[in-house]
Chain A
Amino acid sequence: GNSVTQMEGPVTLSEEAFLTINCTYTATGYPSLFWYVQYPGEGLQLLLKATKADDKGSNKGFEATYRKETTSFHLEKGSVQVSDSAVYFCALTRISGAGSYQLTFGKGTKLSVIP
């Protein structure tokens, strides 16, 4: 079945540091890929997405490129801020041959940014 693997957290960075959170996936066919962010006490919200190979999703300074050859969708940001402290989830959606729709999340990576 489909699966998403994220780097283990927590990740602690100083303000203005460079961020990378690795995400790899297992899926047949052509899934759509997403990064969601969860702030304390809230639900998940979409950060960015990519629907086909080589697409780059970007939002709020975050970027991720859909790499089919390496089955990866790593999240990056050039300069993190304290307000970026949250849990980040990589996810994929895919429609199976039988027509079943699957939305699968990784386990999440907690990011803490210190001043």
Chain B
Amino acid sequence: DAGVIQSPRHEVTEMGQEVTLRCKPISGHDYLFWYRQTMMRGLELLIYFNNNVPIDDSGMPEDRFSAKMPNASFSTLKIQPSEPRDSAVYFCASSRLRNTEAFFGQGTRLTVV
């Protein structure tokens, strides 16, 4: 398996623009997580899905953030409108079962100028 695949690897956008981050989890994994990593806050869980259904989105910072998982092989995280404070590395991860290891993608480095 190719692992968790995220795109793009890098994104630079202007404040106010819409940004869409994409993730393809490992085939057969039932759980998908979106994390944000910054120097100040470390790794923050934004949202996670189980069998394509959002289970806990309490980490989503505000209404500008939204996430979808239309099928088992694809998820998106959208920021609209983007702000400079959204600059971070966003990771997607998937796992097969609860209480098992999560496999991470290589991340998307987002810079909002």
Contact = CB atoms under 8 A, between A and B. Distances in A.
Nearest to B9: A41
Name which of B48, B101, B104 has the most chain A CB atoms within 10 A of its CB: B101
A43 B42 contact: no
Contacts of A107: 42-43
Contacts of B79: none
Contacts of A44: 43, 91, 93, 102, 104
A88 B4 CA distance: 20
Interface in A76-115: 89, 93-95, 100-101, 103-108
A14 interface: no
Interface string A48-92: 010100000000000000000000000000000000000001000
B105 interface: yes
Contacts of A41: 106
Contacts of A49: 101
Interface residues of B, number: 24
Contacts of A104: 45
B4 A43 contact: yes
Interface of A: 32, 34, 36, 41-46, 49, 51, 89, 93-95, 100-101, 103-108
In the complex, the 8 A-B pairs of residues with the closest C-beta atoms, listed nearest first: A43-B104, A107-B42, A105-B43, A46-B101, A44-B104, A101-B98, A32-B99, A93-B99
15 contacts: A41-B106, A42-B106, A43-B93, A43-B105, A43-B107, A44-B102, A93-B98, A95-B98, A100-B55, A100-B56, A101-B55, A101-B99, A103-B102, A104-B45, A105-B43
Interface of B: 4, 31, 33, 35, 42-43, 45, 48, 50, 55-56, 91, 93, 95, 98-107
